[in-house]
Chain A
Amino acid sequence: MNIKVERIDNCAILYIEGEIDSITSKDLEEEINVIMDNGVKKIILGFERVTYISSAGIRVVFMTLQKMLKTGGSLAIAGSTPDVKEILEIVGLQNFVNFYKDITDAKKSFFGEC
């Protein structure tokens, strides 16, 4: 898994590529912690190139949401493939996160005033 971060004021886009599994999810968690500690409030998880996610990756998303409850902030997922989205929906993530069809769409609709 590879992650590239693009920061725009207090918003950030994570361009994630590859598999988010029990091994790689730790890197994602670290990356999110770093940007949140640096004052980022709105995060887009760019899932266009994510080919697989396991519960370890889902756990990172839930932990981020719980952290955002305390510190303020919001999270969106952009461009997940149908296979990945199916897994995310099994655990009910669509109740807490806005899904956008791609990163361009998420930037426009979700970041707004950034």
Chain B
Amino acid sequence: MGLSKTFPATLEAITDIKDYILENIGKLNVNKNKQTKIMLAVEELVVNIINYANMKKPEIVIEVNKDSYRLILKIIDYGEPFNPLEVEDPDISLGIEERKIGGLGIFLVKKVVDEIYYKREDDKNCVILIFNLNS
């Protein structure tokens, strides 16, 4: 078990969530590029939860686990079942006039993480993000 903290599911909490993760990875050797990707994945998933999940409890739990070469983040919400891995990727080959503007967030998450998993646990959505720190 790593560290975990509960945040209100509000847009304003994003800054606190990012700060919490930054504090906890502070001692690890995380380069700036990887740090940017971690922050991006977390922001996109948290915004998605706030916007879409019809929540039993308006809270988001962030769990931080780490070993010498990986950061493992778990993002938990109490919304209706929502698997971000089932969201269709936007067609980025389309011209600007046909391009849909939404759907970029989850697409970016999939591109910047090293591994991503989803599971439904009781009445909770759990998304697990893994970042390799030596790459």
Contacts and interface: CB of A to CB of B under 8 A. Distances in A.
Nearest to A65: B96
B36 A83 contact: yes
Interface residues of B, number: 26
A91 B96 contact: no
Nearest to B33: A83
A58 B103 CA distance: 11
B15 interface: yes
B5 to A, nearest CB: 20
Report, as a range, how many residues of chain A touch the other chain: 20 to 34
B82 to A, nearest CB: 17
Contacts of B88: none
A87 B35 CA distance: 13
Interface stretch (A6-14, A37-45, A49-57): A49-57
B108 interface: yes
Contact of B99 (A62, A82, A86): A62
Nearest to B107: A91
Nearest to A62: B101
A58 B104 contact: yes
A22 interface: yes
Nearest to A86: B33
Interface stretch (B38-46, B54-62, B67-75, B126-134): B38-46
Nearest to B14: A22
Interface string A63-84: 1011001000000000000111
11 contacts: A22-B14, A56-B47, A65-B96, A82-B33, A83-B32, A83-B33, A87-B36, A87-B108, A90-B112, A91-B108, A96-B96
